[in-house]
Amino acid sequence: MITSGWKDFETLESHIAREQTMHPESRGVFSNLLRRIGLATKIISSKVQRAGLVDVLGKEGAVNVQGEEQMKLDVLANEVVKATLGWMPPIGGFGTEEEEQVTLFERHEGEGQYVVMFDPLDGSSNIDANVSVGTIFSIHRRISTGPKPELRDFLQPGHRQVAAGYVIYGSSTMFVYTTGRGVHGFTLDPEIGEYILSHENIRIPDRCHCFSSNDSNYSKWDEGTKKFADHIRYSKQGRYANVTSRYIGSLVSDFHRNLLYGGVFMYPADAKTGKGKLRLLYELAPVAMLAEQAGGTASDGKQRILDIQPTEVHQRVPVVIGNKEEVELYEEFVRKCQE
């Protein structure tokens, strides 16, 4: 009988509604925002899953604010996010990897209380090779009180996020999010167009199963980072007896694998410039919130990613993220090599 187990047939919609009951004062505004993000990602998923069939593969012929070549799907995903969310009264403004400036809206009294940051299609350089990509989002409550948001509403430390999540467009499409009460994963059933709860209360396994970094940058790393990477990969004893290397080159995919299997991902600073590659506001702060909600953590080598006070919208920082034991070990290697 197909009805057996349907009592557990939790969808993203019903989960959001259930979470809302934890806030009796809530009018459902925040819940509607999360639902719309779910809708936007279903639309993006339908485009990504048919990328080879519709003329959306390949380069847009433009570069984004990062100086990165925009793929057609980057532009399309960005437009979908803007069209799906931009008109919503609760959104005072949004920022996206694809645009230099944040977009600010003048809303009526009592509206526009949230700002949202997006990486509409993370890992898009992999699209032509059919590698998993993802959408990452971060939601903050405004701290300014005027009719329009101000930049400081976006430049808040990650520990103030009210929600964060990603959707991974892989062998299946999965929506993973947190509102500060655990991490929950929903797999899209394309036959009914619903995200179904498939991974409730995800906890990162306490084992370093995977080590994930772009080793072609090894020569650019500082000594502490090199020693840490060598220790994890080559000691082949104790906790690291069975570590394997995996690197997809798509943050959402590398993070999602480590979240489920255990492991550590790092994109360290270039020792010469001190700069990292990954963006703080719409890549690292959201995945760092998820990591901590799942029992892991994320650091720039010296401090929690979630404690960094942002200074600009497209700010890049170094990162090590995953099991708490490995991230803390990294910080120790960095400290020792700087003493």
Binding site for ligand P6P (CB under 6 A): 122-123, 125, 214, 249-251, 254, 277-278
Least gap, CB of 215 to ligand P6P (angstroms)? 9
Least gap, CB of 251 to ligand P6P (angstroms)? 3
Q: How far apart are CA 136 and CA 126, in angstroms?
A: 16
CB nearer to ligand P6P: give 164 or 278.
278
Q: How far apart are CA 213 and CA 210, in angstroms?
A: 10
Least gap, CB of 250 to ligand P6P (angstroms)? 5
Q: Comparing C-alpha atoms, which of 12, 6, 18 is closest to residue 34?
A: 12
CB nearer to ligand P6P: give 91 or 289.
289
Least gap, CB of 200 to ligand P6P (angstroms)? 26
Least gap, CB of 329 to ligand P6P (angstroms)? 21
Least gap, CB of 139 to ligand P6P (angstroms)? 20
Q: Residue 172 is which amino acid?
A: S
Least gap, CB of 131 to ligand P6P (angstroms)? 10
Q: How far apart are CA 276 and CA 302, in angstroms?
A: 13
Residues 6+ apart with CB under 8 A from 187: 172, 173, 174, 195, 196, 198, 199
Q: Which conformational region is residue 58 in: left (phi greater than 0), alpha (psi within -120 to 50 degrees), or beta?
A: left
Residues 6+ apart with CB under 8 A from 53: none
End-to-end, the C-alpha distance of the chain in Å comes to 66
CB 287, CB 298: distance < 8 Å: yes
CB nearer to ligand P6P: give 214 or 315.
214
CB nearer to ligand P6P: give 64 or 173.
64
CB nearer to ligand P6P: give 122 or 153.
122
Task: Give the DSSP H or E segment for 322.
Answer: strand 319-322
Residues 6+ apart with CB under 8 A from 55: 72
